[in-house]
Amino acid sequence: MSERTVLVLGSDPPPKLDRLTGRARVIFTDEDSLADRLPTADVLLAWDFTSDAIRRAWPEKGPRPGWVHTASAGVDQLLCPALVADDTLVTNARGVFEQPIAEYVAGLVIAMAKDFYGSWELQRQRRWQHRETLRLAGSRAVVVGSGPIGRAIGSTLLALGVKVDLVGRRARPDDPQFGLVHASDALNDLLTQADWVICAAPLTEATRGLFDKAAFARMPPRARFINVGRGPLVVEDALIAALREWRIAAAALDVFEEEPLTPDSPLWDVPHLIVSPHMSGDTLGWRDALAEQFQDNFDRWSAGEPLDNLVDKRLGYVPVK
């Protein structure tokens, strides 16, 4: 087999692709030179998965990579009409982030229930103030997104004694773990009974702005909201109003409509809101795991075997088998 060209968007820090030595020519590119180099590449690795340059640079016609891999779970940053319509394969980093994100969400849930923030603040003030906190066992969580990340979150919360309602695009009545996966049209009713609402859905045209003023109004005042999916799933002004007016108890955001969050964003100062910089899935060694995953799939691609984590481009995610 002739040497293939792997074009890598982003190099800070560069991926460790030692297994491609002698098998592929690896070329690093930035956003400015991406359009010129795309026609020469067999494979595109979107290492900088925060960039939307692929959407802007993807050619309408002519040569283009036969396979695009993104080092992220979501593919909304790269999908565009031309890429969806052509025969280029798209894969994602499914399998790397699920458990770390589930642990992160569980940590937030425990911290909120046990008022760790209040304890830290009282400690800072050197005040001894006894309080009662929430019991997790028996509380109810609505997890929106029934893919691997949502399922890992649900499984982890089940282990804490939380009752979990998992919501997907369509209903699955015989799920071996959750019993019933609810269809998206059941979400409105489920929100009215939720103690915890966790958003882990992919960003599609159907889910954009899913959590708006009406959604937050359906939640009981005790509800706490967490988003580890994509920023545009949430109407941020609606969340800010819900928190400032005490219509929900608390929230945590790890993803935002605009990233990075600017210093003058009102989100920094919203009461009872935890802000983290899109880090819920990033644990020590995560970049090495992403590079290994890509190289494993490169082995399959080179051998003419089916690729792992093949995205349905029209749905915008890897379908659950």
Report CA-CA distances (Å) from 270 to 212, 245, 261, 279. 17, 11, 14, 20
Q: Which ranges of the chain does DSSP label H, i.e. alpha helix?
A: 31-37, 53-57, 81-85, 98-113, 116-124, 148-159, 187-191, 213-218, 236-244, 286-302
How confident is the model over 51-79, as pLDDT tens digits? 999 999 999 999 999 999 999 999 999 99
Kindly report the CATH number assigned to the domain that includes residue 297: 3.40.50.720
**Last-in-domain residue among 255, 275, 295:** 275
Same structural domain, 126 and 245: yes
Q: Do the domain assignments include residue 308?
A: no
Confidence band for 2, pLDDT divided at 50, 70 and 90: confident
> What total number of domains does the chain contain?
2
CA–CA dist 4, 58 (Å, integer) = 19
Given a cut of 90, whether residue 1 has pLDDT beyond it is: no
Return the active site residues. Answer: 230, 259, 278
Same structural domain, 10 and 133: no
Same structural domain, 170 and 235: yes
How confident is the model over 195-206, as pLDDT tens digits? 999 999 999 999
CA–CA dist 125, 318 (Å, integer) = 49
Q: Do the domain assignments include residue 264?
A: yes
Same structural domain, 38 and 19: yes
Q: What is the mean pLDDT of the chain?
A: 97
* Residues 6 or more apart in contact with residue 281 via CB below 8 angstroms: 73, 96, 97, 100, 101, 104, 228
Average pLDDT, integer, range 114-119: 96
Residue among 135, 145, 222, 215 at smallest CA distance from 178: 145
% of the chain beyond a pLDDT of 90: 98
Same structural domain, 64 and 36: yes
Same structural domain, 212 and 101: yes
Same structural domain, 205 and 59: no
Q: Do the domain assignments include residue 108?
A: yes
Amino acid type, 25: R
In which domain, by residue range, is 220 found? 97-275
Average pLDDT, integer, range 36-50: 97
Same structural domain, 86 and 183: no
Confidence band for 320, pLDDT divided at 50, 70 and 90: confident
CA 75 to chain centre: 10
Average pLDDT, integer, range 17-30: 97
Q: Do the domain assignments include residue 309?
A: no
CA–CA dist 6, 121 (Å, integer) = 50
Q: Do the domain assignments include residue 202?
A: yes
Q: Are the C-beta atoms of residues 308 and 321 closer than 8 Å to each other?
A: no
Same structural domain, 146 and 110: yes
pLDDT at position 321 is: 66
pLDDT at position 151 is: 98
Q: Do the domain assignments include residue 292?
A: yes
Q: Do the domain assignments include residue 312?
A: no
pTM: 0.94
Q: Do the domain assignments include residue 321?
A: no
The count of other CB atoms within 10 Å of the CB of residue 277 is: 12
Same structural domain, 25 and 60: yes
Average pLDDT, integer, range 269-293: 97
Same structural domain, 209 and 291: no
Given a cut of 60, whether residue 275 has pLDDT beyond it is: yes
% of the chain beyond a pLDDT of 70: 99
Same structural domain, 160 and 239: yes
Average pLDDT, integer, range 218-235: 98
Given a cut of 90, whether residue 125 has pLDDT beyond it is: yes
